[in-house]
Amino acid sequence: MLKPKMVFTVLAAWFAFHIFIFWVLNPTGVEALVESEKGQFMARVMGYIGGTLSMMISYTFFMLRDIEGKKAKRILLGVGSIMAIADAVIIASNLSAYEKFPTEPMIATPQPAVALWIILTAYTLYVAVITKK
């Protein structure tokens, strides 16, 4: 459970799940929230790009599962640091969305997803710190 291979597997699954979010759920949400055709087109394109990037990230984490030792520690520290920055960005954007659109909860990232992202960040950084060189 506290080995780099498990962390890479969990992160691969998390980003693979985002393929579904961006490719399947995004078009539905876009139609419900965006009125103009140009806006819908741009939001869908961004969703498809996000899904494609999630697929690449997921595949990369899946392929990193066999890395051990010092390299795994470095990669996990880097990924965990980037995830911590992403946590701050997600929380800031959610606060901004709640302030600007208090009656539109679909605009912000769901709170359970934010909590899971923070837990994954802590898990990644913890395993990176305890991994032996």
3-state secondary structure of 110: coil
Q: How many CB atoms lie within 10 A of CB 63?
A: 11
Are 90 and 109 contacting, i.e. CB atoms less than 8 angstroms apart? yes
Does 133 have pLDDT greater than 80?
no
pLDDT of residue 104: 80
Are 114 and 91 contacting, i.e. CB atoms less than 8 angstroms apart? yes
Rg (CA), the chain: 17
- The predicted-structure confidence for 67-101, as pLDDT tens digits, reads as follows 988 999 999 999 999 999 999 999 999 999 899 98
Are 50 and 22 contacting, i.e. CB atoms less than 8 angstroms apart? yes
Does 63 have pLDDT greater than 90?
yes
- Cα(22)–Cα(58) distance, rounded to whole angstroms? 14
- Cα(37)–Cα(114) distance, rounded to whole angstroms? 30
Predicted TM-score (pTM) of this structure: 0.84
- The predicted-structure confidence for 6-35, as pLDDT tens digits, reads as follows 999 999 999 999 999 999 988 888 887 788
- Cα(12)–Cα(14) distance, rounded to whole angstroms? 5
- The predicted-structure confidence for 110-127, as pLDDT tens digits, reads as follows 899 999 999 999 999 999
> Mean pLDDT, the chain, as a whole number?
91
pLDDT band at 52 (very low <50, low <70, confident <90, very high): very high
pLDDT of residue 57: 96
Q: How many CB atoms lie within 10 A of CB 131?
A: 19
